[in-house]
Amino acid sequence: MTIATFEQSVLNKPYFEREGLWLALDEAQPLGFVHAGFGPNEDESTLSKELGVTSMLLVRPQQGRSEVARQLLVHSEDYLRRRGAKVLYGGAVRPLNPFYLGLYGGSELPGVLDSDAAMQDIFLSHGYREIDRTIVFQRSLSSFRAPIDRHQMQVRRRTQVAVVPEPPTRTWWEACTLGEFERVEFLLLDRTQGKQIATATVRPLENTPAMPGGVSLRTTSTFGFWLKFCSSRLRSNG
């Protein structure tokens, strides 16, 4: 991941506020960071500050990690409350996904990964409770072969697939969160009526290594980049 990609995916969002981003330091050594934000209103036409989310909370694995994470979470919660949040969420899930789409957890933000039990414990100890679960699927395409059976043949006879390259975004929020990605939309249509039966959208995750265990690697990759990014800024500022 490059600085340009990170700026495009996080810092250049029209609703980005530097006050919502906190970095924990030991002198000039970054220890972790937290980033808070908000989601859209009901029709996704503008930002709503009634629901606040701690989008990302990452801390370097070391002694005292839990205390650093707790202090960062307190800063995130204080910022969200000052901005008017009435309900606080831990871990970004659509539509509370203002930042880090494609940089953490898969094609959609999953909340807090099960592989990061320490962060789950931090949120639970602050009074958060689990309200939903997201399943992240991953498959290697190197050995993939499309299934051919009676059922699939029947589906193919009754339907057809339409390909829509670069489909237009439907809402302001979709434009903010997905507009930077190259996307292709596949529509499954009924052959007789032309009615849409299903849809699938494909976009690249080129910033993330695709390999077994890649879900947890997204966390490490993002945090490692953040440490380098912050350290370089600190050095340049003396």
Task: Report how far residue 12's alpha carbon sits from residue 10's, in angstroms, rounded to the nearest whole number.
Answer: 6
Task: Report how far residue 8's alpha carbon sits from residue 31's, in angstroms, rounded to the nearest whole number.
Answer: 24
Do residues 87 and 52 touch, judged by C-beta distance below 8 A? yes
Amino acid at 50: E
Confidence of residue 45 (pLDDT cuts 50, 70, 90): very high
Percentage with pLDDT > 90 across the chain: 31
The model's pLDDT over 149-181, given as tens digits with 9 standing for 90+, comes to 888 888 888 899 999 999 898 999 999 998 888
Three-state secondary-structure class, residue 119: helix
Fold that domain 3-138+206-236 belongs to in CATH: Aminopeptidase (3.40.630)
Instruction: Lowest mean pLDDT of 39-53, 158-172, 180-194, 205-219, name the range.
Output: 205-219
The model's pLDDT over 122-136, given as tens digits with 9 standing for 90+, comes to 899 888 988 888 888
Could you tell me the pTM of the whole model? 0.76
Work out whether the CA dihedral 74, 76, 78, 84 comes out positive or negative. Answer: negative
Residue 187 CA neighbour count, 13 Å, CB half: 11
Q: Write down the pLDDT at residue 75.
A: 94
What residue ranges do the domains of the chain occupy?
A: 3-138+206-236, 150-202
